[in-house]
Amino acid sequence: MGWELGEGMGHPTEGRAPAAQRLQDRCHRDRRLYSGGDMAPAGSTRAKKGILERLDSGEVVVGDGSFLFTLEKRGFVKAGLWTPEAVVEHPSAVRQLHTEFLRAGADVLQTFTFSATEDNMASKWEAVNAAACDLAQEVAGGGGALVAGGICQTSLYKYHKDETRIKNIFRLQLEVFARKNVDFLIAEYFEHVEEAVWAVEVLREVGAPVAVSLCIGPEGDMHDVTPGECAVKLARAGADIIGVNCRFGPWTSLQTMKLMKEGLRDASLQAHLMVQCLGFHTPDCGKGGFVDLPEYPFGLEPRVATRWDIQKYAREAYNLGIRYIGGCCGFEPYHIRAIAEELAPERGFLPPASEKHGSWGSGLNMHTKPWIRARARKEYWQNLRIASGRPYNPSMSRPDAWGVTKGAAELMQQKEATTEQQLRELFEKQKFKSAQ
């Protein structure tokens, strides 16, 4: 009797090839399923090329995924502030997540510097930005990935629009990225295109490639600038790569990208396209995206996209002409692997994490139970209507919409805990809004 794989995972192996050889054969067969022929081994080293060199040649670039949400669930980030002190306080946790995304197939590792600005973090911002660069570069160096230095919208813009001051905040982060010699720059999670344009103008000062993504849906930004108009403004500001990230699920994000692409075409402008959507389904959210859903941020798990949802997202993004495809909040490493696997024929290789993952559930053909072995096929997973297991819960929610717009003091970043009196006032306001 040979080596058994364990309960629920295999059959007695008498008269069969050694387990290691069977696994190797299955991985080789899976690679052929993706490509129709031989494919480069999972995780094989590739020459490191710049982001624009890759995109200009038509290559698919796979981004990484969720940091804030994933590390909050793992106990390393505090919800509410959503700031990245973990790069200093728990570097091993951040390093591990970078490594998981790299194994899953990410070509780009973003520095974990979301909200790591002077206005949000006071004296800690420089140490956090430097440590974030070091961690991303350490992991990327082992796999040929690019490192992107990331900035995001400021809390200052929402209640006190000051172009000079905001640009200086961006420059503080940019100085660290330039000193650390990151491969390119990303301005992400902007809900006002005006502030995103300011970010692009600052990032262009060092001569590195610049990507920019807005957290908007098909209705446009918070000043009612349409997605097409947003794309045009960003292209004219000098952005090399333009798209959306966060706030909305896969299908809404792709709808927005279609509008951006049309805007660029109508203006006779060119830019590479990128999309990094949520790992959640959010068809019921309003203009503000998932932050307005009552489940945000601690009750979103029933909305999580499956790996098969993400394979469909990756294919539809590719067919739309988008070549930089990744994820944002809720996008786990297995979601990134799904992108890499779906686009393996175009990329010519599988990621290291695919060594333990059969194409479209093909690994289930080794299961002991016949009805589970019958699920080892693409048609089953493509057509399955997923149940939530919550029979008394609604399938959709009504977003909270308080009508708060730019200029309201309520949008100021809270640097200290909200007082009991302030909380009582918010609770009463919530009751009033819910009753309307």
Whole-structure pTM value? 0.86
Domains in the chain: ranges and CATH: 51-360 (3.20.20.330)
Other beta carbons within 10 angstroms of residue 120's beta carbon come to 22
pLDDT, tens digit, 9 for 90 and up, residues 54-82? 999 999 999 999 999 999 999 999 998 88
Is 285 marked as a binding-site residue? no
What is the rounded average pLDDT for all residues in the chain? 87
| Tokens representing residue 68 in the block | 């804030």
What is the per-residue pLDDT for 16?
36
Within 13 Å of residue 172, how many CA atoms lie on the same side as its CB? Answer: 23
- Euclidean distance between CA atoms 107 and 325, whole angstroms: 10
246 known ligand binder: yes
How far does Cα 233 stand from its chain's mean position? Answer: 23
Task: Return the pLDDT at 309.
Answer: 98
Write out pLDDT tens, residues 113-170.
998 876 655 657 889 999 999 999 999 998 899 999 999 999 889 877 899 999 999 9
With 0-12 / 13-18 / 19 or more C-beta atoms within 10 angstroms meaning exposed / middle / buried, residue 95 is: middle
d(CA 228, CA 25): 48
Token pair for 140: 């990327």
pLDDT digits (tens, 9 = 90+) for 256-315: 999 999 999 999 999 999 999 999 999 999 999 999 999 999 999 999 999 999 999 999
